[in-house]
Amino acid sequence: MFDFKSFIVVCMCLVLWRGAATEEFEDEYVVIGGNNMLVNKRSVSESEQKEIVNLEDKQLDFAENPSSAVEISSVISEDLYSIAVCLWFRIDQPQFGPIWTYKRPEDEFIQFGLISLTSGPPKPLNFNSLLSYDQPSSMDAYDQQWHHMCVNWDYTAGLLQIYIDGNKLEDKTFGGQNGPISPGGTIRLGGTDLTFQLSGFNIYKEFVNERTVATLMTCYGIGDGDVFSWVTDVAVFPDLVKPVELFLENEIGAVCSECMKYEIFPTAVDYDTAREMCGNRGVQFNKTSTLAVLDTISAYRTVRRAILADEELGRGVKTGYWIGLAVHNNSFVWEDGTLLDADLCRKQWASGQPNNKTKLKNGVVYSQDCVQLWKKKSYKLDDTWCYQTKGFICQYPINC
């Protein structure tokens, strides 16, 4: 069983051991743990920066190195009466111990953190007290899958809000000391033989709202905290660092626009099969899912830019991606039943398209009745034959 007092002693010893080694990095981000050093990018020389790996699309893997610890100092610079922490985590088996904690060297208690339990999702820690909440019956934190969690603390009202995988639990109140979270402490990730992976660890000065949580979770967002940012503030020497694996099986891209999530799949199938597979995605998430309806400039540009910006999405297909646009009764109709706005989409067609070529195949004349994002023309619209096999893009609504 994990012993908080022993953990506090270990933390204090580590802080003392750092001593002169951290003096030159005063007021910068510093990490202790074997060869793992997390630093503010601006505090190192150009030669050192060449050895640094940015964490934007990375995870810290404590599964293979459970005794390694990552400590980050000088993150909180003022008293905070409200604070929010969001992160992605994956735990392979039931274990008890801290995922992360925040503590000042002069204190006998941990101010706040997140503790893994032997069952159910992790629980927030508040001034050495575990805060209980109703456990969602469907939530198994030890299923070898990535889970997203956001916790909001309000130390003025004594209020706690928890989001797990985008679902908000009942608000809770907590007694005892009501904060604030004080500056001068150290964030500690891992280091207590807890085997887990972590990514997208961000700290915010204010509560994160339901829309932000939904975007981070549903769209596999890493986030960008204004107190501590996984994306912009830090980099790490690559002992614990591995590529992050948040995407669903066989899905190599996901992007959101206008309260809709678009999932990009490289699997080559014909148009009818792509429609069926997108429909099945909806059954899985209990949402209406279809081939992508890119009927606004914003949606079209968001998806197209995501493909153009990611080499893997380009390499994943030979000719293009199916979207939810096809000919019905001699008109182009979106999957939701609306007609294509010719004026809106004029610039989205590839040059010379649509041209409705015909082809004789097995004694049957086929027209180009289905629409793809055509790889050859930088993923502009193109009408083509529905029996061809291509990647496909699904969509379903998200909370926002």
**Residue 9 pLDDT:** 33
CATH number reported for the structural domain that contains residue 265 in this entry: 3.10.100.10
Residue count (the chain): 400
State which of 213, 243, 273 marks the end of a domain: 243
The answer on 132 and 58 residing in a single domain is: yes
335: alpha, beta or left, given left = phi > 0 and alpha = psi -120 to 50? alpha
The answer on 357 and 222 residing in a single domain is: no
Across the chain, what does the average pLDDT equal? 78
**Residue 45 pLDDT:** 47
pLDDT band at 324 (very low <50, low <70, confident <90, very high): very high
Segment among 8-12, 87-91, 172-176 with least mean pLDDT: 8-12
For residue range 265-322, list pLDDT tens digits in order.
999 999 999 999 999 887 766 788 999 999 998 899 889 988 887 788 888 899 999 9
The answer on 223 and 271 residing in a single domain is: no
**Is the pLDDT reported for residue 48 higher than 50?**
no
Structural domain containing residue 381: 253-397
**Residue 136 pLDDT:** 54
**Residue 7 pLDDT:** 36
Q: For residue 248, is it within any domain?
A: no
Q: Considering only CA atoms, which of 336, 308, 338, 340 is closest in space to residue 321?
A: 308
pLDDT band at 323 (very low <50, low <70, confident <90, very high): very high
Task: Give ∠ CA 42-48-53 in degrees, rounded to 5.
Answer: 80
The answer on 113 and 24 residing in a single domain is: yes
HSE-CB at 147 with a 13 A cutoff on CA atoms is 21
Residue with the bigger pLDDT between 134 and 16: it is 134
Both tokens of 80, joined, read: 């905070």
**Residue 20 pLDDT:** 28
pLDDT band at 210 (very low <50, low <70, confident <90, very high): confident
CATH number reported for the structural domain that contains residue 62 in this entry: 2.60.120.200
**pTM of the entire structure?**
0.61
The answer on 235 and 300 residing in a single domain is: no
State which of 243, 266, 287 marks the end of a domain: 243
For residue range 100-151, list pLDDT tens digits in order.
999 999 988 888 899 988 877 888 888 767 766 665 545 677 777 888 899 9
Q: Considering only CA atoms, which of 72, 400, 38, 363 is closest in space to residue 210?
A: 400
The answer on 159 and 12 residing in a single domain is: yes
**Is the pLDDT reported for residue 11 higher than 80?**
no
- How does DSSP assign 10-57, residue by residue? HHHHHHHHHGGGGGGGTTS----STT--EEEGGGS-HHHHTT-EE-TT
**Is the pLDDT reported for residue 38 higher than 70?**
no
State which of 198, 214, 243 marks the end of a domain: 243
The answer on 260 and 237 residing in a single domain is: no
**Is the pLDDT reported for residue 244 higher than 70?**
no
**Residue 213 pLDDT:** 84
**Is the pLDDT reported for residue 325 higher than 70?**
yes
Q: Considering only CA atoms, which of 317, 385, 324 is closest in space to residue 357?
A: 385
The count of structural domains within the chain is 2
**Residue 380 pLDDT:** 95
**Is the pLDDT reported for residue 4 higher than 50?**
no
Strands 69-73, 167-168: pairing kind = unpaired
The answer on 262 and 234 residing in a single domain is: no
**Residue 134 pLDDT:** 61
297 Cβ contact partners less than 8 Å away, ≥ 6 residues apart:
344
Classify 371 as helix, strand or coil: strand
The answer on 195 and 66 residing in a single domain is: yes
Alpha helices in 115-263 (DSSP H): 210-218
Q: Considering only CA atoms, which of 77, 104, 216, 64 is closest in space to residue 151?
A: 216
The answer on 267 and 206 residing in a single domain is: no
Cβ atoms of residues 369 and 359 within 8 Å: no
pLDDT band at 22 (very low <50, low <70, confident <90, very high): very low
Cβ atoms of residues 216 and 223 within 8 Å: yes
Q: For residue 338, is it within any domain?
A: yes
For residue range 329-382, list pLDDT tens digits in order.
999 999 999 999 877 677 899 999 999 999 998 888 999 999 999 999 999 999
CA distance 164 to 150: 7
Percentage of the chain exceeding pLDDT 90: 31
pLDDT band at 26 (very low <50, low <70, confident <90, very high): very low
Q: For residue 213, is it within any domain?
A: yes
The answer on 351 and 214 residing in a single domain is: no
**Residue 85 pLDDT:** 95
Q: For residue 334, is it within any domain?
A: yes
- Torsional sign, CA 311, 269, 365, 324: negative
Alpha helices in the chain (DSSP H): 4-18, 46-49, 210-218, 271-285, 297-309, 311-315, 342-345
Classify 101 as helix, strand or coil: strand
For residue range 173-206, list pLDDT tens digits in order.
876 556 789 999 988 888 778 889 888 899 999 8
The answer on 275 and 146 residing in a single domain is: no
**Is the pLDDT reported for residue 392 higher than 50?**
yes
Classify 66 as helix, strand or coil: coil
